[in-house]
Amino acid sequence: MYEPQTLQTIASHFVTAEHIDAVLPLGNGLINDTFKIMMKGEEQPRYVLQHINDKVFTDVEMLQRNIETVTDHIRRKYEAAGMTDINRRVLHFLKADTGKTYVKVGEEYWRVMDFIADSVTQEAVTPQSAYDAGRNFGDFEALLADLKEPIGEIIPNFHNIEFRLKQLEEAIAANPVGRMKDAEVQDYVKKIQEHASAMCLGERLYREGKLPKRICHCDTKVNNMLFDKEGNVLCIIDLDTIMPSFVFSDFGDFLRSAANTGAEDDPDLGNIHFNRAIYDAFLEGYLEGTKSFLTPVERENLPYAACLFPYMQAVRFFADYINGDTYYKIRYPEHNLVRTRAQWKLFEEAQKALK
Ligand code: GN1
Ligand code: MG
């Protein structure tokens, strides 16, 4: 954990030190650590300070370049469209005293962005806000469809299920902390294998030249959107994983959190069902937002995408469990196994609901 004074010193690379009142924890991401910067005499935070996890995002220069390219592009389009509240609609990163949008302090990387006032994150959506979210993520992809500058693949093979299954196989073979002896663990290995071929459909279509990659967000969880006090979508956040991917990423990963009636790590599997009304509403909004570019192959396979993402997340949590919890932050020793069970249940429920 970080000392308040350390955080203030880091923040002062971006904002005048004397004006900072406090730097306090914010949010619940599984990868980066996030804080809010409070300025003297102000009630609401003014900025967000974030520690970049450079074990996950090893090329910080590329990471920030991707984000700047995308946010500049969207900003220019919003300006051309005469939008007035642009700073509430797209993230803005501050330049540090180094001239870059990040600093390296010791061995750690940090960045600062504007805090969007009067905004909230939510863990759940209604059909109305799911429609809105579909529109917004669809629009987001549409806005980036004509991007000329290259966007780097910041985490290679991030949503490549064949690659994730291979990582799982490697974890199983290495069995570094002896978790393979458990009967339940063995059982998940079998169940995952049974569905592997069907779940690799996207990669096959890609190899056959039938499925394009587009610039996607790749972490479209509900809590990666800011809403205003009335529940309208304001802005898409957490732009780290923007990279070329199948549209399945954004469609499937949103529903993985939004259509789940339980929590991502719900220990009570009875809470977990797939909410078809949320799926239908999100689909409608997404089709509206993407109608300028979505191909029939992409459209026809959206139900597959909604099953693929709980499956892929189960595979990723499970591999991390077998590896001894080296990737995701955990709150207790069995956390990644509990997450695996919950995502597997959601996978089964999604298949039933979308048959
Ligand atoms: C991670 O850090 P967070 O919570 O935004 C992960 C996503 C997973 C998600 C599971 C870079 O996102 O891919 O879906 O946890 N991000 C990375 O909650 O691995
Ligand atoms: Mg996040």
pLDDT in the model for residue 146: 95
Q: Are residues 322 and 234 in the same domain?
A: yes
pLDDT in the model for residue 1: 82
Query: Is residue 287 situated within a structural domain?
Result: yes
Q: Are residues 57 and 183 in the same domain?
A: no
> Which of 114, 141, 166 is where one domain is finished?
114
Segments forming the whole domain that contains residue 92: 4-114
CATH number, position 170 = 3.90.1200.10
> Which of 114, 141, 169 is where one domain is finished?
114
Distance 221 CA to ligand 2 centre (A): 7
Q: Which ligand is nearest to the CA of 219?
A: 1
User: Can you name the residues that pair with 112 across neighbouring β-strands?
Assistant: 49
Query: Is residue 333 situated within a structural domain?
Result: yes
Q: Which amino acid is at 35?
A: F
Query: Is residue 181 situated within a structural domain?
Result: yes
Q: What are phi and psi of 233, to 5 degrees?
A: -70, 130
Query: Is residue 18 situated within a structural domain?
Result: yes
CATH number, position 87 = 3.30.200.20
Ligand 1 lined by 336 (C-beta under 6 Å):
no
Count of domains forming the chain: 2
> Which of 114, 146, 177 is where one domain is finished?
114
Query: Is residue 122 situated within a structural domain?
Result: no
Q: Are residues 202 and 274 in the same domain?
A: yes
Cα separation of 3 and 123, whole Å?
29
pLDDT in the model for residue 29: 79
pLDDT in the model for residue 300: 98
Cα separation of 344 and 322, whole Å?
16
Ligand 1 lined by 30 (C-beta under 6 Å):
yes
pTM value is: 0.94
Q: By CB neighbour count within 10 A (0-12 exposed, 13-18 middle, 19+ buried), where does 19 fall?
A: middle
pLDDT per residue of the chain (355 residues) written in tens, 0 to 9? 899 999 999 999 999 999 999 999 998 778 899 999 999 999 999 999 999 999 999 999 999 999 999 999 999 999 999 999 999 999 999 999 999 999 999 999 999 999 999 999 998 899 999 999 999 999 999 999 999 999 999 999 999 999 999 999 999 999 999 999 999 999 999 999 999 999 999 999 999 999 999 999 999 999 999 999 998 999 999 999 999 999 999 999 999 999 999 999 999 999 999 999 999 999 999 999 999 999 999 999 999 999 999 999 999 999 999 999 999 999 999 999 999 999 999 999 999 999 9
Cα separation of 268 and 262, whole Å?
8
Q: Are residues 167 and 286 in the same domain?
A: yes
Confirm if 160 and 199 have CB atoms less than 8 A apart.
no
Q: Which atom of ligand 1 is the closest one to the Cα of 57?
A: 11
Ligand 1 lined by 29 (C-beta under 6 Å):
yes
Ligand 1 lined by 257 (C-beta under 6 Å):
no
pLDDT in the model for residue 151: 98
